[in-house]
Amino acid sequence: MKTKLQSLLPRILLGVFYMAALACYAALLRSNSLRIHEPRTFGDSNEYLRIANLPFFSTAFWTQSKPPITSLIYKLLESDLNRIFVFQLWFSIVCWAVLALAVAHTVRSTYLKPVAFALILAFSLSRDVFMWIPFIGSEAVSFSVTALFIASALWLIDDWKAYKIPFLAAAGFLMAFSRDTAAYILLIAAVVALPFLWLSTHRLHVLVIMGSFLAIFVASVFAGSIGNRFEIVFPIITAMRIFPNPEYVAFFKAQGMPVNPYLVKRSNPNWPGYAKWNVALALWVDPKQEAYRQWMKAHGVATYLRYLWFFKADTLQRMFYEDGGRNVFYPDVYYYTATGYRPILKDERLAEILYPTRLGLVYFFFANLAAALACGFAVSLRKRLWLVPIAMVLSTYPQAFLVWNGDANDIPRHSIGHNIMERLGLWILVLFVIDFLSQSSRPAVEQVWAKMRARFHIVPRQNHAAEPGE
């Protein structure tokens, strides 16, 4: 009995630590939320609330200008902003706690488990992660379900069981239908799953997962096409990126796009009386621009794809050198914080360590180089779990490409998702590498310790014989 208690003691202490850390984590977020004067609304907030008022069983609800999951939650909460705020708070707490447990569970070294658990919770207290909780938009829900998706992937890969696959697929569905760019994470995940056909003996399961990811991605893209999302965003791209650039204008004009010279002039920020949204608004609703809208419906998507390839030097690289890459790779989104916002991590050095921003593009290249190097070790050492954080980091650029070329407005806010994944992925990868090195060095440490005991005549401690009845 005494021996059993001794063997269970580390688990009991670990469980107590988890509960205490989670209680402190929830208390910090709860007390911080009480400082918020009111939920933060923005341009897109009214659109999510409008969709929430549509009939649930109508096709329109599921195929609007925004993915439906966020609006579905708002609908269940009767579009009450305060109730939405409270829900997003506790939903975020639960999802990040699940991810922290998943990461801690996959770590083998006992001493590293509490570190992993605390690190993930501390990371989620970074400004760019938790500041979206009072924000009325897709960010809080999307980032939370993304944490669930990562946790589900780790849970499945760590101990492969068929019954876990539906949980992963469900988390992927919620993620893809909470935010447009999140659907592409599933497309990337399907590609990342290819090595598992070699690293895993569960090849049929891997094929099922890849198929489900691709099906969800196609469904998301199809819903977006029915909701005319391209026809909403392309006039913004035209007004803010194409018209101000003579080369782009010439290209699209040669492809048959009707171009109004007056609107081209008005798109120039130096034009007298310039207003950011005037040109896009004209392209959306002005009867004189009907020819433009008809061309966009018929040829817009195909022409835009040709543009991405024809100007690939710009579309692939401009995100790096415009404003030094700040908007895409280390955006400042303090503007979106709610009134009354206060940082939870008061120490700026600690906040910078957990969520680096001051290094700028240096951090992006360092993280991706480290992940690329780790990928080779992961395959050669058959470390399947490593592929999850590696994919999180290496998917940063594809997601940045989508954000940059998928819209021309609000780039910093749209870039937060891949920045969170990159920094979180690198932290998880560091934990896995430390865990591997710790486990690998253990036999050598034990051998050195045995030699030291023999040299200094240290007698190992003997357990007392168990008493009768113990």
Q: What is the mean pLDDT of residues 101-109?
A: 95
What was the pLDDT predicted at 458? 61
Q: Looking at the structure, do residues 240 and 223 belong to the same domain, yes or no?
A: no
> Token pair for residue 458?
């240290």
- Three-class SS of 164-191: HHHHHHHHHHHHHCCCCCHHHHHHHHHH
Question: Which of 251, 279, 310 is at the close of a domain?
Answer: 310
CB atoms < 10 A from the CB of 101, how many? 19
Evaluate whether residue 458 is within a structural domain. Answer: no
DSSP character at residue 407: -
Cα–Cα distances in angstroms (integers) from residue 331 to residues 139, 203, 325, 336, in the given order: 15, 40, 8, 12
> Token pair for residue 434?
């430390």
Q: Looking at the structure, do residues 97 and 203 belong to the same domain, yes or no?
A: yes
Cα–Cα distances in angstroms (integers) from residue 407 to residues 232, 240, 242, 444, 457, in the given order: 10, 9, 11, 54, 72
Q: Looking at the structure, do residues 159 and 223 belong to the same domain, yes or no?
A: yes
Residue 163 has pLDDT above 60, yes or no: yes
Q: Tell which residue, 320, 390, 330, 325, has the closest CA to residue 355.
A: 330
Evaluate whether residue 140 is within a structural domain. Answer: yes
Q: Looking at the structure, do residues 304 and 336 belong to the same domain, yes or no?
A: no
Q: What is the mean pLDDT of residues 50-60?
A: 91
Evaluate whether residue 438 is within a structural domain. Answer: yes
| 167-192: pLDDT as tens digits | 999 999 999 999 988 899 999 999 88
pLDDT band at 306 (very low <50, low <70, confident <90, very high): very high
Q: Number of folded domains in the chain?
A: 2
Q: Report the distance separating Cα 84 and Cα 282, nearest Å.
A: 34
Evaluate whether residue 451 is within a structural domain. Answer: no
Q: Looking at the structure, do residues 171 and 280 belong to the same domain, yes or no?
A: no
What was the pLDDT predicted at 439? 87
Q: Residue 40: beta bridge partners?
A: 135
Question: Quick check: 196 and 241 in contact, CB under 8 A?
Answer: no
Q: Looking at the structure, do residues 255 and 374 belong to the same domain, yes or no?
A: no
- Single-letter code of the amino acid located at 55: P
Q: Looking at the structure, do residues 99 and 146 belong to the same domain, yes or no?
A: yes
Q: Report the distance separating Cα 406 and Cα 400, nearest Å.
A: 10
> Token pair for residue 113?
């488990």
Question: Quick check: 179 and 73 in contact, CB under 8 A?
Answer: no
Q: Looking at the structure, do residues 264 and 358 belong to the same domain, yes or no?
A: no
Q: Report the distance separating Cα 292 and Cα 242, nearest Å.
A: 14
Average pLDDT, the chain: 91
pLDDT band at 238 (very low <50, low <70, confident <90, very high): very high
Evaluate whether residue 383 is within a structural domain. Answer: yes
Q: Report the distance separating Cα 396 and Cα 423, nearest Å.
A: 10
Q: Report the distance separating Cα 173 and Cα 212, nearest Å.
A: 9
Residue 193 has pLDDT above 90, yes or no: no
Evaluate whether residue 60 is within a structural domain. Answer: yes
Q: Looking at the structure, do residues 38 and 80 belong to the same domain, yes or no?
A: yes
Q: Report the distance separating Cα 394 and Cα 360, nearest Å.
A: 17
Q: Residue 135: beta bridge partners?
A: 40
Evaluate whether residue 280 is within a structural domain. Answer: yes
Q: Tell which residue, 310, 315, 291, 299, has the closest CA to residue 241.
A: 315
Residue 446 has pLDDT above 70, yes or no: no
Cα–Cα distances in angstroms (integers) from residue 188 to residues 30, 175, 391, in the given order: 35, 13, 8
Question: Quick check: 206 and 200 in contact, CB under 8 A?
Answer: yes
Quote the domain boundaries for residue 125. 14-227+326-446
Evaluate whether residue 166 is within a structural domain. Answer: yes
| 57-89: pLDDT as tens digits | 888 898 888 999 999 999 999 999 999 999 999
The set of residues, in sequence order, having a beta carbon less than 8 Å from that of 102 and lying 6+ positions away, is 150, 151, 152, 154, 155
Q: Looking at the structure, do residues 186 and 297 belong to the same domain, yes or no?
A: no
Q: Looking at the structure, do residues 298 and 373 belong to the same domain, yes or no?
A: no
| 350-403: pLDDT as tens digits | 999 999 999 889 999 999 999 999 999 998 888 989 999 999 999 999 999 999
Question: Which of 275, 310, 345 is at the close of a domain?
Answer: 310
Q: Looking at the structure, do residues 411 and 425 belong to the same domain, yes or no?
A: yes
> Token pair for residue 274?
């310039």
What was the pLDDT predicted at 465? 47
